[in-house]
Amino acid sequence: MPELTHAPAATSRSAALYERALRVLPGGVSRNTVLRDPHPLYADHAAGCRVTDVDGVERIDFANNMASLIHGHACPGIVTAVTAQLARGTAFTMATEVEVRYAEHLCGRAPSFEKIRFVNSGTEALMVALKAARAFTGRPKLAKVEGAYHGAYDYVEISQESDPSTWGDVERPRRVPLVHGTPESAMQEVVIIPFNDPERAIAILDGHAADLACVVLDLMPHRVGVVPADPGFVRAIRDWTDRNGALLVLDEVITFRTEVGGLQSRFDVRPDLTALGKMIGGGFPVGAVAGRAEVMDVMNPRRAGRLLFPHSGTFSANPITLTAGLAAMEKYDAPAVARLNTLADRAIKGIERAIRDSGIPACVTGTGSMFRVHMKSTPPRNYREAFPTPDEKRRTTLLLDHLFASGIMMINSCSATLSTPMTEAEIDALVAAMASGFERIAATAG
């Protein structure tokens, strides 16, 4: 078993920085996802698929800032393009040419993208999509999948982290608030449906048909388990929205990396709206809403009649983000997508082989260039099946700590997203670290 040379030191610059951070930041951070025990590590610099912390330890980055860095860190083409734009200005109370060019590029990637608007985060993209659905339909409610994450908006946070003690009967999942103090009025506007269970989902939707503006769906929701949706489930939801005058809103903030036109291109459905974010910013904060022209025009102040959804944003479509995003997405063409998906397939097969060799109960889910390791013998199909037991949580933490100490950074759910600087060497390093991690877990079980 290889020596672990990347473990955090007991005393370090990161530890000292965290002590300072605790005095000025709640919990010492601005995003809880960077917390680790006993303290977070602090990045110093990064290039390609490797990050070096302030103590000089280098790790291979399979987290990629929560799936947002499709070309890894400090991509030369993006750096050059952004540096040139910085000299011309960062934001104006004027439109810019790059907004038009990037809109044309993105609308050319997916048939459902007839028009697009840029915003500043995936959360904002979902907020705008939901408001547009309400404005278009005149209805107040939305439906979402139990356990699915759609950003930090009261409505879509409902039942994001429900558990066996709170989630209720599968036939009628409870609305469970994420944040203490969430208004009951907000919860009443949300309908919770199970993932990959069309019969139960449709039965629930039927009870709210007159009030639903939209159904929000992630085709491979991260917190539901990185489990791809069944085509029959997606078709059933699309057919229900068509019959009942509601909109289908797809959240492709993460899954757009899967194909040139996003994961939706693998399904025989055309959403009314799609929320985008993360990788389309080329490493900068970004969001976008794309979709059917008739629906998007609720934000059009020049449309005939009353403006239904006044929308603006100080940094929306700023030229720094859009310059970086256009450079990133032009580089992420069909051959690049296929190459990255092939590398992910190599990783999944290698990890599955390591699981078999170790004999521990574990499995891998995912598709495209993203996958997740579960401490379960059978791949889950929905949030309730993916929910980890206390022992599964313990073993996942053991594996994540082992990977980190082996020089591998993962998303804290034990998920990985690839970036284009990666090669078979990085994939094989991940598989080797996984294999030794499974050996350690098997040893603790014995």
Residue 3, pLDDT above cutoff 80: no
Confirm whether 201 is domain-assigned: yes
- Determine the Cα angle at 159 with ends 188 and 182, to 5°: 55
CA separation for the pair 218, 255 (Å, rounded) = 8
Pair 257, 287 in one domain: yes
- What φ, ψ does residue 253 adopt, rounded to 5°? -60, -40
pLDDT tens sequence across 188-205:
999 999 999 999 999 999
Return the pLDDT at 310: 96
Count of domains forming the chain: 2
Instruction: Name the residue range of residue 426's domain.
Output: 13-70+334-445
Closest CA to 320 of 93, 83, 74: 83
Q: Are 331 and 71 in contact (CB under 8 A)?
A: yes
CB atoms within 10 A of CB 60: 24
Pair 414, 376 in one domain: yes
- Quote the crossing angle between the two packed helices 76-88 and 319-331, to the nearest 10°: 160
Pair 99, 158 in one domain: yes
pLDDT tens sequence across 332-356:
999 999 999 999 999 999 999 999 9
What one-character-per-residue DSSP string does 379-422 give?
--SSHHHHSPPHHHHHHHHHHHHHHHHTTEE-BTTTEEE--TT-
Residue type, position 377, single letter: S
Q: pTM higher than 0.85 for the full model?
A: yes
Residue 5, pLDDT above cutoff 80: no
Q: What's the distance, CA 50 to chain centroid?
A: 21
Residue 11, pLDDT above cutoff 80: no
User: In the sheet that 363-367 helps form, which strands lie side by side, from edge to edge?
Assistant: 363-367, 370-374, 415-417
Tokens of 24: 């000025």
Share of the chain above pLDDT 70, in %: 97
Return the pLDDT at 7: 63
pLDDT tens sequence across 297-312:
999 999 988 999 999 9
CA separation for the pair 430, 187 (Å, rounded) = 41
Residue 185, pLDDT above cutoff 70: yes
At residue 81, the 3 state secondary structure works out as: helix
Pair 296, 273 in one domain: yes
| Preceding omega of 38 cis (within 30 degrees of 0) | yes
Return the pLDDT at 1: 45
What band does 167 get if pLDDT is binned at 50, 70 and 90?
very high
Domain boundary among 315, 331, 347: 331
